[in-house]
Amino acid sequence: MRWFTFGREGARLPWKEWANAVKDPEDLMAYVALGRKAYRAFVRLAGLPPQKGAEGALTAFAHILHHTLDEMDEGRWMELRFLLQESWVQEDPGLWDPPALVIRPPSGGLAGDLLALHHMLERAVGPDLLRLSWCSMTSSGRNAPMRPMEAGELLLPLMMLDRTMAENIPPFLDQEEREGMSFLREELRLSERIFMDELADGLSAQGHIVRQGEVWIAGMMSGGSWHGSEEVARWRERGLRCCALLLAFRVMFLASVTGESGPLRVSFPPQGSD
């Protein structure tokens, strides 16, 4: 699929929905349309059908971004733009990854599913959850700090999502949008027997053992347990669905920053010539 280009006009997607959103960052429906376009492209890439509950989540994302723009001052814009253009290399290295690097259709096999799931959680789900929580806090008038996610550390992003939802942050979401955020939270529940952050930590810190078609993961709160290949395949499918929704938020977020503050001119590490 076509992804960001980094030419004289800055980082941009070659989609009419991107152009419409960037043209008017106050147009909520343009951002919903952009999110819908991105989400459908990502689930198609994953070989999965779109989920009905995603529409409410996309609408909530657009509403949150709309209010986030209203709360930004010059200093915060400078900090955010520096992160997205320069310091992302150290703090959020998966930010500009093409989606095909993290969204890969299931191919079968326990080892492949575990590697793919680890990559999705670390490069997409965790960072975008943290980004969404930062926007939720900022849109509510709070001076939330920008901070990178430690590798494999999903506890903070999940905790922040749970806390903001429990404390009605942001307070302006309507019933449909709240249901959309609840849908997102439910999609993030990969397993009935182990928390997502424990799963991510076990895969990142080598806290797992593979033997005879099963994987043992040492959950800090859930305890150690064995999981078969069919269960892991279900984790991967739910992970793909989470990725599709959160990468759609990332696209909407980058469009809102571009539309409100100007083109993003991204610096990449230098590459040697052959």
160 in any annotated domain? yes
97 in any annotated domain? yes
Split into its structural domains, the chain has a count of 1
- Using DSSP's 3-state secondary structure scheme, residue 226 falls into strand
Q: Return the pLDDT at 189.
A: 79
- Note the helical H segments in 102-206: 110-120, 126-139, 155-166, 175-187, 196-204
- Note the helical H segments in the chain: 16-23, 28-46, 54-70, 74-82, 88-91, 110-120, 126-139, 155-166, 175-187, 196-204, 229-261
Q: Return the pLDDT at 195.
A: 73
Show pLDDT as tens, one digit a residue, over the chain (274 residues): 789 999 888 999 999 999 999 999 999 999 999 999 999 999 999 889 999 899 999 999 999 999 999 999 999 999 999 999 999 988 888 899 999 988 887 666 888 887 888 888 888 888 999 999 999 999 998 888 877 655 447 778 888 888 888 898 999 999 999 999 999 988 887 777 677 777 777 677 667 778 787 877 776 666 677 777 787 788 888 888 989 999 999 999 999 999 999 999 999 988 875 5
Give residue for tokens 């892991």: 232
CA-CA distance, 62 to 20, in Å (whole number)? 14
132 in any annotated domain? yes
Q: Return the pLDDT at 109.
A: 82
94 in any annotated domain? yes
28 in any annotated domain? yes
Q: Return the pLDDT at 148.
A: 62
Q: Cβ neighbours of residue 35 under 8 Å, at least 6 residues apart?
A: 58, 61, 62, 248, 249, 251, 252
Q: Return the pLDDT at 258.
A: 96
47 in any annotated domain? yes
266 in any annotated domain? no
Q: Which residue range forms the structural domain that includes residue 92?
A: 5-143+151-168+176-261
Q: At what angle do helices 28-46 and 16-23 cross, to 10 degrees?
A: 150
26 in any annotated domain? yes
Q: Return the pLDDT at 151.
A: 47
